Structures are given as structure tokens and as C-alpha cells.
Amino acid sequence: MDRKKNISMAVIKRLPKYHRYLMELLKNDVDRISSKELSEKIGFTASQIRQDLNCFGDFGQQGYGYNVKELYNQISAILGLQKDYNYVIIGAGNLGQALANYTRFDKLGFNLKGIFDANPKLVGIRIRDIEIADIDEMENFLKSNPVDIGMLCVPQTSAQKVCDILVNGGVKGIWNFAPIDLTAPEDVIIENVHLSESLLTLVYLLNEGK
Amino acid sequence: MDRKKNISMAVIKRLPKYHRYLMELLKNDVDRISSKELSEKIGFTASQIRQDLNCFGDFGQQGYGYNVKELYNQISAILGLQKDYNYVIIGAGNLGQALANYTRFDKLGFNLKGIFDANPKLVGIRIRDIEIADIDEMENFLKSNPVDIGMLCVPQTSAQKVCDILVNGGVKGIWNFAPIDLTAPEDVIIENVHLSESLLTLVYLLNEGK
């Protein structure tokens, strides 16, 4: 896996899309696919696909295309999906509940271990067999339950505080939905989903050239 | 606004972030900021910031920095926020409800005009004074109500069908949360929020170099 180093962010960002398309192909019992056919489906050029996959090793045979199952397994392994991940959700409003109900994450090997909220009206409610706990209990919870990923669905004003508790509790991955750029030590990975920014990009493109 | 043409997607994707930071500065009554100070806050280099903003016109004065309010107004205008947008939400599950409750969108000039769902248990429920309507009513609704943006929070299997109804109804912007790449005419802008792909990027980065 030495080739994993120095892979550009652009390639990394495309990997999950390959993963999704290959999963679809597997579901539809497709055994083999050429970079040209894959290109038509996924919307990247065939040469882009060959280049991307070459970053990670020798996939596919000239003239025979890719073995879908093998490529799917390899990309899963590259993404780190050969093992499971434990996650907690902080903020059990609509967005937190939406994430808690995403069974898609289960299938990818993500295990929901806890849901936390500061709102006493939500504490005690069960979502998928997990009782929403008081946010004040999270620090202790993390001491006895190893958690890989914290999904932050709290308001902007409390996001950094919650992030600090997660980091102190040994959580190395933060999936942040709050519209704020969090501060954390270098070995903690923060992936942001800034919804307003995505919407504003849409609006810019709607007006472009007008 | 001729300079708007040929702006790279990378610059466009950074604009909403400038917008968010400038809004924060305005809230905190900051009048003036240098590209160096803005750089420290926003995390782009000062030269990157100067380059980005130069794409759109002459902002800032050498040695005096940027007038925050003016820059905010200009970036709002570049993004197209000088006017309002009407939107509908399709799919009133947790995610759709989360979006319906985002008052942040109101402040940016987005007006929620309708919520649609296929589930009879949800139809008739009110969210923020809007009654969830049956998805079958959307086609007619669009005939008499101009809508700019459709937010797609339906399952993957019905996403394309709903997208087609929106497009036929004259909607030019689709904000798509379903894990599928939609097909639409060229003049329709589709902005995807593929949550699973964002999560898989996080997992890749968590494992990188290990």
C-alpha cells in the first residue's frame, strides 16, 4: 500500500464514486467492465479512470477490462472498508435522526454506538434501539467505548466544544455538519458537509452567464 | 460581470466560504480586514485570496485591506444573492424536515414554497406553516407557482422520476441528496450532496499512511 502516499485529494475524492458505481454493477450481476463502459456510466473520461486506478496498483487487463468484483474489493480496501467503524451522533435533531436512520451506513460497516443531545426532551427517546443520552454523559461514554467517528449535528455555537470532548475521548474522525471550521490536533481528520455552501454554489451556477 | 465567465470551479467552490466568513465578520462589527488577517481566519493563503477576488473585480486597496461590508455585498451579488429564490422540498423524511427547518436558508433569501411526499402518513402534516402535499400534486403546483430550486430528499429509486417532474415544471436548480447521478437537460444545474461519499472520504483519510 506504499502507493497510497502522495495521492492527490482530487483522486481521493473520486474513489467513493467508483465505489458506489461498482457496488451498483455488482448488484446488477455485471462481472466485467471496460474503462470505456465505466466512463460512460460514471462520467469521468476513460483515460482519467485508468490514471486514477493506476495510482493504487495494476487493475484491469488490456483488452479485457476490469473484473468488477475484484476492483470493488480493492477499492473497498483502499478506502479502509475492510474493517468496521464505530460512530456516535451528537445532536439528535432532524439531521441527526436522518443520519441515525441511514441503513446505508450499516451496510458499509459503520456501527452506530451512541446518540447524544443536550435537549432533555430528546434524551431517552429511542432511535434504532439506541437511547438518546445526555451530552454530559459522552465524556464518560468515550472512556469505555472505543469510537472512531463522531458525527456533529449540533448548532454552530456548540460545535467546537463538542469537537473538543470527542478529541479528548480519542475520536480521530469528525464528520462535521455545523457551519463552522473546527480546530483539532493534526492527527484528527475533519470532513465538513457545509450545506449552505453547497446551496450557494448551486445558486452561483444558476446565474452564471446570465 | 463579464469576468464571471471562465472562472474555475475551484474558485467558485471557495466563494460561499468567503461569504460565510464575511457574514461572521459583519456580525462582529469588523469594518476592515487585510488579506493576511482574512487568510488566518479562513485558512487560504493571502495570495490565494487576492487572486480569487481579482477574478471578479478590483477589491481592496493596497495597504488598507478590504472593506468588509463592501466585499460581503459584492460576493453576495456575485453569488446571485441580490435576489430571492423559491424552493420546494421533495421527500419529507428526517432529512427533508431538517432542510425545511433550516432558518439559515431564509436569511440568505430562500423562500420555502412547498413540501411534497409520497407517504400518506406525512401528507397533511404542517412544517413551518406549510402543509406537506402529495407528490402527485407537484406537477400542477409547478404550473402556477414559479420555483427556482428543488431539494431532492427522496430515495434513490424515485429520484430520477421526481427530477423529471421538476425539470418539466421549469425548475432550473436541483439540490440532490439521493445517492444517484441524475440526468437532466444542460440548462438545469444539479448540485449533489452525496453523504456516503463524504463519509468514505473521511474513512480513507483516517487510514491514510497507516
pLDDT of residue B5: 55
What ipTM was reported for this prediction? 0.91
A32 burial (CB, 10 Å; 0-12 / 13-18 / 19+) is middle
What share of chain B has pLDDT > 90, as a percent?
Answer: 74
Position of cell 461569504?
Answer: B19
pLDDT surpasses 70 at B69: yes
Question: Is the separation of the CB atoms in A7 and A55 below 8 Å?
Answer: yes
Average pLDDT over residues B12-24: 92
User: How far apart, in whole angstroms, are the C-alpha atoms of residue B67 and residue B110?
Assistant: 26
Q: What is the pLDDT of residues B172-185, one digit of tens each?
A: 999 999 999 999 99
Q: What is the mean pLDDT of residues A165-180?
A: 97
Question: Which of the two residues, A105 and B62, has the higher pLDDT score?
Answer: A105
Annotated binding-site positions of A: 91-96
How far is Cα B150 from Cα B193, in angstroms, rounded to an integer?
A: 13
The per-residue pLDDT for B30 is: 94
pLDDT at A159: 97
Chosen from A202, A206, A207, A210 to mutate, greatest number of chain B CBs within 10 A? A202
Residues from chain A that touch B195, judged by Cβ atoms under 8 A, are 99, 102, 193
Please give the single-letter amino acid code of residue B187. D
Mean pLDDT, rounded, for B146-174 = 97
Give chain B's mean pLDDT.
91
> A19, A68 in Cβ contact below 8 A?
no
d(CA B174, CA A129): 34
Q: Using CB atoms, pick whichever of B94, B201, B208 lies closest to residue A97.
A: B94
pLDDT of residue B61: 66
* Closest CA–CA distance from residue B155 to any residue of chain A (Å): 11
> In this predicted structure, what is the pLDDT of residue B208?
84
pLDDT score of A62: 65
pLDDT tens-digit profile of A19-39? 999 999 999 999 999 888 999
List the end-to-end C-alpha distance of chain A, in Å, as a whole number: 48
pLDDT at residue A209, as a whole number:
61
- State the residue for C-alpha cell 459522552: A138
Candidates A45, A101, A108, A102; CA nearest to A79 is A108
Q: What is the pLDDT of residue B1?
A: 42
Q: Rounded to whole angstroms, how far apart are CA atoms A142 and B39?
A: 35
Instruction: Find the mean pLDDT for residues A120-124.
Output: 97
Q: What is the mean pLDDT of residues A145-152?
A: 98
Which parts of A are annotated binding residues for NAD(+)? Answer: 91-96
Q: Which residue of A has its CA nearest to B198?
A: A191
Choose the most confident range, by mean pLDDT, from A52-56, A148-152, B32-36, B205-209: A148-152
- Helix-then-strand count for chain B, H and E: 9, 9
Q: What is the pLDDT of residue A136?
A: 97
Mean residue pLDDT of chain A comes to: 91
Per-residue pLDDT at A6 exceeds 90: no
Pull the grid cell for residue A120: 432533555
Which residues have C-beta within 8 Å of that of residue B61, sequence separation ≥ 6?
none
Closest chain B residue to A5, measured at CA: B209
- pLDDT for the residue B2: 44
Structural domain spans, chain A: 2-79, 85-197
Query: Cβ separation of A173 and B206 shorter than 8 Å?
Result: yes
Cβ neighbours of B80 in A, within 8 Å: 203-204, 206-207
The predicted model gives B128-141 an average pLDDT of: 97
Segment B43-47 mean pLDDT: 89
Q: What is the distance between the alpha carbons of residues B110 and B106, in angstroms, rounded to a whole number?
A: 5
Are B200 and A12 inside 8 Å of each other by CB? no
Nine-digit cell at B80? 446571485
Structure confidence at residue A65 (pLDDT) = 83
pLDDT in tens, A91-121: 999 999 999 999 889 999 999 999 999 999 9
b (16+ CB within 10 A) / e for B9-28 = eeebebbbbbbbbbbbbeee
Per-residue pLDDT reduced to its tens digit, A55-80: 777 776 667 788 999 999 999 999 99
B96 annotated among ligand-binding-site residues: yes
The domain defined by A2-79 folds into Arc Repressor Mutant, subunit A (1.10.10)
Whether residue B46 is annotated as binding a ligand: the answer is no
- The pLDDT value recorded for residue A2 is 44
Among A98, A175, A191, select the one facing B95 at the smallest CB separation: A98
Class at the top of the CATH hierarchy for domain B85-197:
alpha beta
* pLDDT reported for residue B137: 98
